[in-house]
Chain A
Amino acid sequence: DAMVIQNPRYQVTQFGKPVTLSCSQTLNHNVMYWYQQKSSQAPKLLFHYYDKDFNNEADTPDNFQSRRPNTSFCFLDIRSPGLGDAAMYLCATSRPRGSISTDTQYFGPGTRLTVL
């Protein structure tokens, strides 16, 4: 089945130790998103790609970076994780028609990041 896959499902890292989270999709969707969701809060958009065009949210910390080497894969790099970065990280895709977003998003299961 076509889907959005996130690896690993659980990631433990140490304070200040760089970590990379992975997302892949078999839907061939143009747009890929990364969200951060802290406990009992709504998902917060960090950034998204339309093809290779990167769009950062104004309030996303510089500590968070992303790479999209091809249509299928997108990575979230946290350069120096702090305790406040412990959260669920959700990857999603969508396939807009034309210049606007009219389709639903498809979410992966998320990666839960713990920072010790």
Chain B
Amino acid sequence: SQQGEEDPQALSIQEGENATMNCSYKTSINNLQWYRQNSGRGLVHLILIRSNEREKHSGRLRVTLDTSKKSSSLLITASRAADTASYFCATATSGTYKYIFGTGTRLKVLA
């Protein structure tokens, strides 16, 4: 399977703490994206990082990309209860229009 792997599978933290999730993938990519999904709902796009970028910030989100290791991380700083959701990375496979999703991290932020 081409599916990416994410770790941890589940993460439980206290409000105000930082949350870090990691994503590894298998193919060459054009970009990598992170999405959030609340239980039973659709996917919400969070941030996109292109293959020639190493780090990107958006509000409380920080994404890094290491194409030599085929890995990315998502850091959520000062987490809030509303951040409780599943987080997925998705890679745009080079030379195609295909996006492959990682296995996801379930984040629970305790108030």
A interface, CB within 8 angstroms of B: 31, 33, 35, 40-45, 48, 50, 55, 88, 90, 92, 94, 96, 99-110, 112
B59 interfacial contact with A, CB 8 Å: no
What A residues does B110 contact at CB under 8 A? Answer: none
What A residues does B102 contact at CB under 8 A? Answer: 42
Q: Looking across the interface, which residue of chain A has its beta carbon closest to that of B93?
A: A101
Would you list 27 pairs from A and B whose C-beta atoms are within 8 A, ordered by A residue? Answer: A31-B97, A41-B103, A41-B104, A42-B3, A42-B101, A42-B103, A42-B104, A43-B43, A43-B101, A45-B98, A45-B99, A45-B100, A88-B40, A94-B99, A100-B96, A101-B30, A101-B96, A102-B50, A102-B92, A103-B48, A104-B33, A104-B45, A104-B48, A107-B44, A107-B45, A110-B41, A112-B40
Contacts A31-B97, A112-B40 given; 5 further ones with Cβ under 8 A? A42-B103, A88-B40, A101-B30, A101-B31, A106-B45
Chain B contributes a number of interface residues (CB within 8 A of A) equal to 29
Dominant secondary structure of chain B at its interface with chain A: strand
- Counting chain B CB atoms within 10 Å of each CB, which of A41, A96, A101, A112 scores highest? A101
Residues B33 and A105 in contact, CB atoms below 8 Å apart: yes
- How far is it, in angstroms, between the C-alpha of A42 and the C-alpha of B105 when the chains are bound? 10
Q: Looking across the interface, which residue of chain B has its beta carbon closest to that of A102?
A: B30
B interface, CB within 8 angstroms of A: 3, 30-31, 33, 35, 40-45, 48, 50, 88, 90, 92-104, 106
